[in-house]
């Protein structure tokens, strides 16, 4: 695993051209030099040369990054800001510890027992009508009630699992599906959709028991010990003789990209093998002879938001759009700045709520301007960022993954046959 000092040559390559200012969503909101890559590299240069020391103040500057990689597209020196800032956070954590709020979030997601308890509590909240009561209260509270509305939206199940009649012969492919902790413990809608769509197309995906959170939020907080612990658990539960490791959440998909560098020897080889077999569901469905019912349509106007972890970490942008445009009845509208970060970015929305909300609001305005009534994305964190923006504009839109819309089409076909 690379340390901050391993990036020193790369940091020195910053020519201070300032091109990163034009694209950084955090800089756009703050106008502060310390929030953009150039400013952070100046600070890190100071640390590497011994002129500045890590401190809680430096940690606050390091927190001011979404890890969205937007600056990569414009940086003439090709500097990997996301990796460098993550390494700097890890180093600062060793000296000054992790912010209490981040520590609490990581603590919740690092144990499956706590996640099961969370699932149990959420089920009570959903099934006893408490969610409904809290929603009504939130409407009355106005601005103060927004966090409850955003929270409630994350629990809305668009797709209930239903065994559908297959439309394709069994393929015999060995596929493991990694649903991530949101799919397993918080909202199983996108997970149900993936399983149903795969089954309809002749693929019985395995979901190993006891999978952990992918750990991406621990990584972005610079808690590499937790990230490594979760990675090791996940790697040990998945056999490497599979054909595909399917992910639907963009964050989970990119976690698999980072797993190999955490280990050496056999574990590194297994992690590398699994990473090479990992594939985002939109890309997977783009490769197969996907079943699309002919006599049924979803009459919806839809737009698509690119999760940073899908577009700039896994280079998947065309496939979800192609999938949406294959669905009969969908009127697809491209929004402005579709690949601009939604503002959620793991723990960023909790640690820097003001800036996060401003970024989410821009995203929501672009969604409204597109004229779409459904906004699709392929990331559970982006669903939070988009909901946050929509709630702040006092607008209701359905937020779903492209696969959830395809599953809806299959369900509609089954119900009308």
Residues that bind ligand SF4 (CB under 6 A): 14-20, 23-26, 36-38, 41, 65-71, 74-77, 79, 81-82
Give the position of tokens 């940073």: 308
Cα distances (angstroms) measured from residue 83 to each of 4, 62, 89, 160, 210: 9, 12, 10, 38, 29
Task: List 245's β-bridge partners, or say none.
Answer: 176, 278
- Report in angstroms how near the CB of residue 309 gets to ligand SF4 at its nearest: 12
Q: Which is nearer to ligand SF4, 88 or 302 (CB)?
A: 88
The span from the CA of 349 to the CA of 354, in Å, is: 8
403: nearest Cα among 255, 281, 284? 281
The span from the CA of 214 to the CA of 178, in Å, is: 9
Q: Which is nearer to ligand SF4, 69 or 270 (CB)?
A: 69
Q: Which is nearer to ligand SF4, 67 or 307 (CB)?
A: 67
- Report in angstroms how near the CB of residue 57 gets to ligand SF4 at its nearest: 18
- Report in angstroms how near the CB of residue 36 gets to ligand SF4 at its nearest: 6
Q: Which is nearer to ligand SF4, 330 or 341 (CB)?
A: 341
Q: Which is nearer to ligand SF4, 19 or 161 (CB)?
A: 19
Adjacency order of strands within the sheet including 175-178: 175-178, 244-247, 278-280
68: its two tokens: 């969205």
**Residues 6 or more apart in contact with residue 187 via CB below 8 angstroms:** 154, 155, 156, 157, 380
Q: How many CA atoms lie within 13 A of 2 on its CB side?
A: 16
- Report in angstroms how near the CB of residue 134 gets to ligand SF4 at its nearest: 32
The span from the CA of 104 to the CA of 100, in Å, is: 6
The span from the CA of 63 to the CA of 100, in Å, is: 13
- Report in angstroms how near the CB of residue 93 gets to ligand SF4 at its nearest: 18
Q: Which is nearer to ligand SF4, 198 or 216 (CB)?
A: 216
Long-range contacts of 93-99, Cβ-Cβ distance < 8 Å, separation of 24 or more: 93/221, 93/222, 93/223, 95/54, 96/54, 96/55, 96/56, 96/59, 98/221, 98/222, 98/223, 99/59, 99/63, 99/221, 99/351
309: its two tokens: 């972890």
DSSP structural state of residue 158: S
The span from the CA of 141 to the CA of 301, in Å, is: 31
The span from the CA of 50 to the CA of 163, in Å, is: 62
3-class secondary structure per residue, 304-318:
ECCCHHHHCCCCCCH
Q: Which is nearer to ligand SF4, 352 or 408 (CB)?
A: 352
- Report in angstroms how near the CB of residue 264 gets to ligand SF4 at its nearest: 28
Q: Which is nearer to ligand SF4, 86 or 212 (CB)?
A: 86
Q: Which is nearer to ligand SF4, 36 or 391 (CB)?
A: 36
Q: Which is nearer to ligand SF4, 30 or 317 (CB)?
A: 30
- Report in angstroms how near the CB of residue 37 gets to ligand SF4 at its nearest: 4
- Report in angstroms how near the CB of residue 344 gets to ligand SF4 at its nearest: 12
- Report in angstroms how near the CB of residue 258 gets to ligand SF4 at its nearest: 15
Q: What are phi and psi of 175, to 5 degrees?
A: -120, 130
- Report in angstroms how near the CB of residue 38 gets to ligand SF4 at its nearest: 4
Cα distances (angstroms) measured from residue 3 to each of 88, 92, 270: 8, 11, 23
């Amino acid at each position: 695993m690379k340390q901050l000092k391993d990036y020193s040559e790369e940091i020195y390559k910053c020519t201070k051209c300032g091109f990163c200012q034009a694209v950084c969503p955090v800089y756009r909101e703050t106008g502060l030099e310390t929030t953009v890559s150039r400013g952070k590299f100046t600070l890190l240069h100071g640390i590497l040369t011994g002129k500045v020391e890590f401190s809680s103040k430096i940690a606050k500057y390091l927190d001011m990054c979404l890890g969205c990689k937007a600056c990569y597209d414009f940086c003439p020196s090709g500097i990997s800001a996301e990796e460098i800032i993550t390494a700097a956070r890890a180093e600062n954590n060793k000296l000054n510890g992790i912010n209490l709020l981040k520590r609490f979030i990581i603590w919740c997601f690092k144990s499956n027992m706590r996640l099961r308890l969370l699932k149990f509590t959420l089920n009570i909240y959903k099934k006893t009508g408490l969610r409904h009561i809290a929603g009504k209260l939130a409407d009355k509270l106005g601005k103060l009630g927004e966090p409850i509305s955003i929270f409630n939206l994350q629990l809305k199940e668009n797709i209930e699992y239903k065994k559908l009649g297959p439309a394709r012969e069994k393929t015999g492919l060995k596929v493991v599906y990694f649903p991530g902790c949101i799919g397993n413990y918080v909202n199983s809608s996108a997970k149900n959709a993936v399983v149903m769509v795969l089954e309809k197309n002749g693929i019985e995906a395995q979901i190993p028991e006891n999978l952990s959170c992918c750990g991406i939020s621990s990584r972005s907080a610079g808690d590499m010990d937790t990230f490594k612990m979760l990675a090791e658990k996940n790697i040990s539960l998945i056999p490497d003789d599979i054909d595909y490791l399917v992910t639907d959440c963009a964050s989970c998909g990119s976690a698999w990209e980072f797993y190999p560098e955490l280990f050496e020897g056999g574990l590194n080889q297994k992690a590398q093998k699994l990473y090479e077999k990992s594939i985002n569901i939109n890309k997977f469905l783009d490769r197969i002879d996907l079943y699309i019912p002919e006599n049924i349509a979803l009459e919806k106007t839809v737009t698509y938001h690119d999760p940073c972890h899908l577009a700039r970490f896994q280079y998947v942008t065309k496939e979800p759009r192609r999938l949406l445009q294959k669905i009969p009845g969908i009127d697809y509208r491209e929004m402005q700045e579709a690949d601009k970060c939604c503002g959620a970015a793991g723990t960023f929305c909790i640690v820097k709520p003001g800036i996060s909300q401003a970024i989410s609001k821009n995203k929501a305005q672009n969604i409204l301007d597109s004229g779409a009534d459904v906004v699709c994305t392929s990331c559970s964190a982006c669903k939070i960022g988009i909901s946050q923006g929509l709630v702040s504009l006092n607008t209701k839109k359905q937020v779903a993954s492209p696969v959830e819309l395809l599953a809806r089409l299959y369900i509609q076909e089954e119900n009308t046959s």
